[in-house]
Amino acid sequence: MANSLSARKRARQSERNRRRNASQRSHVRTSIKTVLRAIENGDKSAAEAAYKAAVPAIDHSVSKGIMPKNKAARHKSRLNKHIRAM
């Protein structure tokens, strides 16, 4: 347990940031899964629409430091590759 006042404040901030980051990470994963479901169903227009919605979410997570930029690029590239192969 944190003893000093500044350590207690830091613990509060860490918990708040952890919750915010978890929420953002969940949002990104959900948007990726939406694209994958559309691809599995064979609905190209829905997959493209979901992809267009997922890309800003992925990019936002990179700018906030939740996801490394290479991981984001890998996700976007693979999703786009699957859509083009339909």
In this prediction, what percent of the chain has a pLDDT beyond 70?
100
Q: Which domain range does residue 74 map to?
A: 5-84
User: Has this prediction a pTM greater than 0.75?
Assistant: yes
pLDDT at residue 31 is higher than 80: yes
Quick one: what percent of the chain has pLDDT higher than 90? 95
What confidence score (pLDDT) does residue 2 get?
81
CA distance 65 to 20: 12
CA distance 42 to 83: 9
Number of structural domains (the chain) is 1
Q: In whole numbers, what is the pLDDT of the chain averaged over residues?
A: 95
Q: Which CATH number goes with the domain that contains 39?
A: 1.20.58.110
Kindly report, residue by residue over 38-59, the tens digit of the pLDDT: 999 999 999 999 999 999 999 9
**For 67, which DSSP code?**
S
